[in-house]
Structure 1
Amino acid sequence: MDVLTWQQVVELLRYDFVRDMLVAGAVLGLLAGVLGPLVVTRKMAFAVHGTSELAFTGGAAALLIGVGVGYGALVGSLVAALLLGLLSRRDSDRDSVIGAILAFGLGLGVLFLHLNTERTANKFGLLVGQVVSIGSTDLWLLVSASVAVLAVLAFTWRPLLFASVDPAVAVARGVPVRGLAVVFAVLVGVATALSVQIVGALLVLSLMITPGAAAVRITASPVRATVLAVVFAEVSALVGMALSLVLGMPVSVFVTAVSFLIYLVCRLVGGKRQRVQ
């Protein structure tokens, strides 16, 4: 394992692909941090995993036909989000629907990779991430899609939070709970597609779920939980990328390790607070 010196790391910052990598990580950290607490509150961790499998399928299909992986992953995630939002109308159906979609997406993605005869690192990157392959076009897609997701979320955050915390009362108050569920599933689908290029389909939960799960462990305030989740996600993404550059290992190893360490610390802090109270 070749370990870089800090001087060599500073030299790397002169390259466009390194700067694009860090910008992508920062944008994704913001997006994942904002969505994370709502995903945890709505108990959608399994849904995020299922959506990531369809993002993998879309990315594999894009590789096969020769278009941008990011666009394929985005289409795959949107299809998964719409299917989850439309087919899981009852809570009792949700897990079975997600399981069916997850298995189908994974199998189809493997088929697309098998049909692709080109030797490319993007095949493996779809599963575990390959952030250094992000180009200016992918970065533009990431930034523009993130802005769109955050804009929609800004207009729907209050009713979404209400519907997430107490859906029965929200329905009684006239909140369009079913429509909001589909909208939120689409937002999560877009964020998941963007995450796949950073940490891969198999490790997408490390950014989309773990920071939010850590934040809700130490605060019951939705606003504070969102702020903390953003901080945790940013630290996980940027510190993970920095360690990847220094140690020359896959970025997903460090992103997942940092986010899990933060979660463990928050779980310990939250447990001590509960015992004191």
Structure 2
Amino acid sequence: MNWSDIGDALFGGVSQYGAILALVQNSLWAGAALGLVGGLIGVFIMQRDMAFAVHGISELSFAGAAAALLLGFDVVAGSIVGSVLAAAIIGWLGARARDRNSIIGVLMPFGLGLGILFLSLYSGRSANRFSLLTGQIVSVQSSQLTWLIAISAVVLVGLLVIWRPLRFDSLDPQSAAARGVPTRTVSLLFMLLLGLVVAVAVHIIGALLVMALLVTPAAAAMRVAHGPLIVPVLSAVFGFVSAVGGILLAVAGTLPVSPYITTISFAIYLVCRLIGARRDSTMRAA
């Protein structure tokens, strides 16, 4: 393969861009909602050191979606069941970081194994199986878009309702408990909201790469900002740009959407890390 072949793979469909874009408008709307909500919830994922939990929940979400695909049910519903079940287990049993990591370590291979089993038994289109792992820009149907937008709205409202106690518990759990914050309830609610977001992410970027939209934007924002308002806003903007920008680029190419989204997300993180490192160096010199 030479450079021209790579260029054709990346941007081979530019001449038909408008026509293809009209076919993936559902994915654009879903990606925009996921980028915004994923960026917001990603701040708390980073503050609570739960990046590993995102990957664990995504594996059970993948298993639920694969089971629904095999049985002929709605894939979004199956993904939600798997995500919420995993989030509830982790949130209820993993109060301490050591317990949480061990539970996730057990759930991840179990969920991935179940998902692979269900996909191996599925005799339908291979693209449907592939999309659950790496995402597909045409995988969001009109009926599913309603589900995905509704889930994103529920997560956004839920985050706003518990924002203050969740932020207090994320930054200083001991003081939050001493002040009467129901930390266990707040943690469980957060895990359920996280499970719902992961269910949406699986249908946009695939089960293997959900952290590109739920962790990387927040990690990038924290490198260049520290305020309680600017960090969530930047994280949401970075998530939005990564998701929508990746889909827009994928429309012009022949590759799955996930390489474009992950590349944009990683590029944003690298730029923010360089800016943060230069700022810290300047402050030390001063």
Q: Structure 1 length normalisation: TM-score?
A: 0.96
Given that 1:37 and 1:222 are in contact with CA atoms closer than 8 Å, whether structure 2 keeps it comes out as no
Deviation at 1:7, TM superposition (A): 5.5
Q: Corresponding residue for 1:206?
A: 212
SS in 1 for 2:229: helix
Given that 1:52 and 1:196 are in contact with CA atoms closer than 8 Å, whether structure 2 keeps it comes out as yes
Deviation at 1:120, TM superposition (A): 3.1
Deviation at 1:4, TM superposition (A): 4.7
Deviation at 1:10, TM superposition (A): 2.5
Q: Corresponding residue for 2:61?
A: 55
Given that 2:131 and 2:206 are in contact with CA atoms closer than 8 Å, whether structure 1 keeps it comes out as yes
Aligned residues: 275
Which residue identity is paired with 1:125?
A: S
Instruction: Quote the Cα distance in structure 1 between the aligned partners of 2:87 and 2:13.
Output: 43
Whether 2:19 is the aligned partner of 1:11: answer yes
Given that 1:131 and 1:197 are in contact with CA atoms closer than 8 Å, whether structure 2 keeps it comes out as no
Q: Corresponding residue for 2:168?
A: 162
Deviation at 1:129, TM superposition (A): 0.7
Unaligned runs of 5+ residues in structure 2 are: 1-7
Whether 2:219 is the aligned partner of 1:222: answer no
Whether 2:267 is the aligned partner of 1:261: answer yes
Given that 1:4 and 1:245 are in contact with CA atoms closer than 8 Å, whether structure 2 keeps it comes out as no
Instruction: Quote the Cα distance in structure 2 between the aligned partners of 1:238 and 1:138.
Output: 18
CA RMSD of aligned residues (A): 1.3
Q: Corresponding residue for 1:136?
A: 142
Deviation at 1:75, TM superposition (A): 0.7
Given that 2:13 and 2:253 are in contact with CA atoms closer than 8 Å, whether structure 1 keeps it comes out as no
Q: Corresponding residue for 1:79?
A: 85
Instruction: Quote the Cα distance in structure 2 between the aligned partners of 1:80 and 1:214.
Output: 27
Given that 1:20 and 1:134 are in contact with CA atoms closer than 8 Å, whether structure 2 keeps it comes out as yes
Question: How many percent identity over aligned positions?
Answer: 48
SS in 2 for 1:134: coil
Instruction: Quote the Cα distance in structure 2 between the aligned partners of 1:11 and 1:74.
Output: 32
Instruction: Quote the Cα distance in structure 2 between the aligned partners of 1:121 and 1:7.
Output: 24
Unaligned runs of 5+ residues in structure 1 are: none
Instruction: Quote the Cα distance in structure 2 between the aligned partners of 1:196 and 1:149.
Output: 16
Q: Corresponding residue for 1:235?
A: 241
Q: Structure 2 length normalisation: TM-score?
A: 0.93
Whether 2:191 is the aligned partner of 1:185: answer yes
Given that 1:127 and 1:201 are in contact with CA atoms closer than 8 Å, whether structure 2 keeps it comes out as yes
